[in-house]
Structure 1
Amino acid sequence: MSDAPGADSPTRFYLVNFESYLRPKQPNKCQPLQRFEKPNGRTTFLYRNLKRLKILRWYSSASKRFEQLPLPKFLGFLRARNDDGLCKRKTGFEIYCEMASIHGFHIFVGAKTWQRILWWLLICNAVLLSLILVVMSLSMSKETPTIRFIDTMMKPTAKVPFPAVTICAFNTIFTQGLQNREWMSASVMEQVTRRNASWLELLEDAALPICPLVKVCQWDTRMVNCLDELQPIWTLDQRLCCTFGYNQQLFSSHLGFSFVLRSSDTDLQSSQSAGFEVLIHESHEMPDGATPRLLVPSGSEAHIMLRPYVNRFSRNLEGLSLQKRGCYFPTERRLMSSDVYNQINCLAECRSENILESCGCAPPKSPLGKSWPICDIQQMQCVIDFDHDEISSGEQKNCDCLPPCEFNRYEFQSDIRLIKGMTNNSIVSTSNQGRTNEVRVRVYYDSSTAEELLLDVYENWLTFIGTFGGITGLFMGCSFVSVFELIFFSCVRPTCNWLTRKQILWRRRRNQRVGNTEARSLGPAN
Structure 2
Amino acid sequence: MGDEQNSLDHEFANYTTCHGAARIANAKNKPHMALWTLIFLAAFGLCTWQIVDRFNNYFAYRTGTEINVQLESELTFPAVTICDFNRIRGSGVTENDLAYLGALYQIAALVSDPVALRNLSESIDWDAFNASAGLVEDFPGFVRRNGFVLDNVTLAECSWRGSRCYAENFTHVFTEYGNCWTFNSEKNSPLRQTSPGAGNGLKLILDIQTHEYTEDPFIGNLEYGLVFQVHDQYEPPRPELVGTAVAPGSHTYASTFQTHVKNQQAPWGQCDPRKDQNFLKYFDKYTLAGCLLECRAEIVVRACNCRPLYYPGDVDYCTALELTTCALPTLATFLSETNEFDFCGCTVPCEYTSYSSQVSYAGYPSLKAAEFYETTFNYSRGYMSTNVVLLDVYYHELRSTSWEQFKAVEESGLISDVGGQLGFFIGCSVITLWEFLEYLALKFSAFFLFSSKPSSKTATKDGVKVDNAMVFENTAAGDAEKTEITELSTIRTTSNGEKSAVLEMT
Does the pair score TM above 0.5? Answer: yes
CA gap 1:229/1:486 in 2 versus in 1, 3 angstroms: same
Aligned with residue 208 of structure 1, among 148, 173, 182: 148
Query: After superposition, where does 1:315-464 map in structure 2 within 5 Å?
Result: 326-328=271-273, 331=276, 333-369=278-314, 372-380=315-323, 381-396=325-340, 398-419=343-364, 420-421=366-367, 422-423=370-371, 424-427=374-377, 429-432=379-382, 435=385, 437-456=387-406, 460-464=410-414
Matched, 1:233 2:183: no
- Deviation, 1:297, is 1.3
Residue of 154, 159, 180 corresponding to 1:218: 159
Q: CA distance change for structure 1 residues 116 and 395 in 2, over 3 Å: closer, same or farther?
A: same
CA distance in 2, matches of 1:130, 1:513: 64
Match of 1:246 among 169, 185, 191: 185
Q: Distance in 2 between matches of 1:185 and 1:359?
A: 24
Does 2:237 match 1:287? yes
The alignment of Structure 1 onto Structure 2 pairs a total of residues equal to 423
Partner of 2:79: 164
**CA 1:434–1:193 in 2, change beyond 3 Å: closer, same or farther?**
closer
Measured after TM superposition, the shift of residue 515 of structure 1 is 2.1
Instruction: Give the C-alpha shift of residue 106 in structure 1.
Output: 3.8
Closer, same or farther: CA 230–205 of 1 in aligned 2, 3 Å: closer
Higher-strand-fraction structure = 2
Distance 1:274 1:121 in 2: 78
User: Does structure 1 conserve the Cα–Cα contact (< 8 Å) formed by 2:44 and 2:425?
Assistant: no
Aligned-residue offset at 1:230: 0.9
How many angstroms does 1:155 deviate by? Answer: 6.4
Structure 1 residues 288 and 487, CA gap change in structure 2 (3 angstroms): same
Shift in alpha-carbon separation, 1:487–1:161, aligned structure 2, 3 A: same
Distance of aligned partners of 1:375 and 1:152 in 2 relative to their CA distance in 1, 3 Å threshold: closer
1:100 aligns with 2:16: yes
Residue 113 of structure 2: aligned partner: none
Decide whether aligned partners of structure 1 residues 353 and 499 sit closer, same or farther in structure 2, where only a CA change above 3 A counts: closer
User: Against the structure 1 CA distance between its residues 164 and 252, is the aligned structure 2 distance closer, same or farther, given a 3 Å change threshold?
Assistant: same
**Correspondence 1:130 to 2:35:** no
Counterpart-to-counterpart distance in 2, 1:272 and 1:243: 24
1:49 alignment counterpart: none
In 1, Cα distance between the equivalents of 2:86 and 2:97?
Answer: 23
Q: Which gives a bigger RCO, structure 1 or 2 (Cα 8 Å, sep 6+)?
A: 2
Larger Rg: 1
- Identity across aligned pairs (percent)? 17
Corresponding letter in the other structure for 1:216: E
Structure-1-length-normalised TM-score: 0.69
**Cα RMSD for the two superposed structures:** 3.9
Post-superposition shift, 1:402? 2.0
Distance 1:304 1:432 in 2: 25
Name structure 2 gaps, 5 residues minimum: 105-125, 216-220, 466-470, 478-497, 499-506
Structure 1 residue 417: Cα displacement:
0.6
**Structure 2 SS opposite 1:493:** helix
- Structure 1 residues 523 and 428: CA distance shift in structure 2, 3 A: farther
Partner-residue secondary structure (3-state), 1:310 = strand
Give 5+ residue unaligned stretches, structure 1. Answer: 1-86
**TM-score, normalisation: structure 2:** 0.71
